[in-house]
Amino acid sequence: MREGQVIVTGGSRGIGAAIAADLARRGFAVVSLSRAGTSAAGRGLACDVTDEASVAAAIRTVADKGPIVGLVNNAGAHVGKPSAELSAAEFEETLRLNATAVLVGAREAYPHLRAAGGGLIVNIGSFFDKLGVPGSLAYCASKAAVGAITRCLAAEWARDGIRVIDVAPGYIETDLNRDFLTGDKIRAWLDKRVPVGRAGAAEEVARLVGALFAEDIGYLTGETIYLDGGQGMNH
Ligand SMILES: NC(=O)c1ccc[n+]([C@@H]2O[C@H](COP(=O)([O-])OP(=O)(O)OC[C@H]3O[C@@H](n4cnc5c(N)ncnc54)[C@H](OP(=O)(O)O)[C@@H]3O)[C@@H](O)[C@H]2O)c1
């Protein structure tokens, strides 16, 4: 078992569950935060990341058990709607979960990571952060904010030994979207649009995140690493 605990938000299912399982496989003590409070691996704690008090309380509970050396801000959601019908409240709701919660989680973890002598924060962004996607204005804006938050925190906390990296996936197959992504029409579209010719697996995102923790590359910080089968850079 490695020293210290790694917190994964949204570790109850989907990409977060795969990340929790990969980190546990590599010997990290994992604690998942989700509203359900369950975890694919390690311990699960109930927490709503859109509620600052809930995040602060959960991180205090984790810290009471021992040092915290990492945080994966993974919890997030996509709600599609035509921009002409998008209310300010709906826009802000998406920003609150996908972007504000990244700041709040990082801010609450910061004193503990510093006390542990440094650590790693991985934020799960999206390759939509640099694309114009019809019906996805709030999601795209929130994921662009994740890239900006990552760069600012990386610059601010580097001297504390804390590195911050944005892992930005493309289309990733999870339990929730498997039926959609494996349909004939979308499969043909992915085959044409994605150089690698398919959707990604949650385990591929998890292996990248796990490797970033395990390899501990001290000179790598502030970057957005795209894991999208080449879709975002494809002509
Ligand atoms: N799937 C993709 O194709 C894809 C592509 C690019 C980026 N991403 C990003 O990857 C991340 C995970 O996506 P996913 O597809 O794995 O989603 P998912 O299957 O819907 O899982 C979302 C996770 O977040 C948790 N969660 C949601 N709202 C929460 C809240 N308010 N407080 C605490 N936990 C909350 C959920 O648990 P509870 O419901 O129990 O709270 C669940 O564990 C997101 O940031 C997403 O934007 C996904």
Q: Is the CB of 97 under 6 A from ligand 1?
A: yes
Say what the pLDDT of residue 140 is.
98
Q: Is the CB of 16 under 6 A from ligand 1?
A: yes
**In ligand 1, which atom is closest to the CA atom of 75?**
24
pLDDT at 1 over 80: no
CA-closest residue to ligand 1 atom 34: 34
- Global pTM reads 0.98
- For range 200-229, the mean pLDDT: 98
Whether 188 maps to a domain, the answer reads no
What is the pLDDT of the chain when averaged over all its residues? 97
- Best mutation site among 172, 176, 193, 194 for ligand 1, i.e. most ligand atoms within 8 A of its Cβ? 172
Q: What domain count does the chain have?
A: 1
Say what the pLDDT of residue 175 is.
85
How far is 200 from 211, CA to CA, in rounded Å? 17
The rounded Å distance from CA 98 to ligand 1 centre is: 9
Say what the pLDDT of residue 23 is.
98
Confidence of residue 3 (pLDDT cuts 50, 70, 90): confident
pLDDT at 22 over 80: yes
Closest by Cα among 73, 70, 68 to 112: 68
β partners of residue 30: 6
Whether 98 maps to a domain, the answer reads yes
Whether 61 maps to a domain, the answer reads yes
Whether 30 maps to a domain, the answer reads yes
Whether 62 maps to a domain, the answer reads yes
Whether 91 maps to a domain, the answer reads yes
Which residues are identified as catalytic? 139
Whether 195 maps to a domain, the answer reads no
How far is 177 from 196, CA to CA, in rounded Å? 19
Q: Is 222 left (phi over 0), alpha (psi -120 to 50) or beta?
A: left
Is-contact 21 40, C-beta < 8 A?
Answer: yes
pLDDT at 41 over 90: yes
Q: Is the CB of 36 under 6 A from ligand 1?
A: yes
Q: Is the CB of 224 under 6 A from ligand 1?
A: no
Range of the domain at 134: 5-175+201-227
Q: Is the CB of 160 under 6 A from ligand 1?
A: no
What CATH number should be reported for the domain holding residue 115?
3.40.50.720
The rounded Å distance from CA 171 to ligand 1 centre is: 13
pLDDT in tens, 111-161: 999 999 999 999 999 999 999 999 999 999 999 999 999 999 999 999 999
Whether 169 maps to a domain, the answer reads yes
pLDDT in tens, 49-88: 999 999 999 999 999 999 999 999 999 999 999 999 999 9
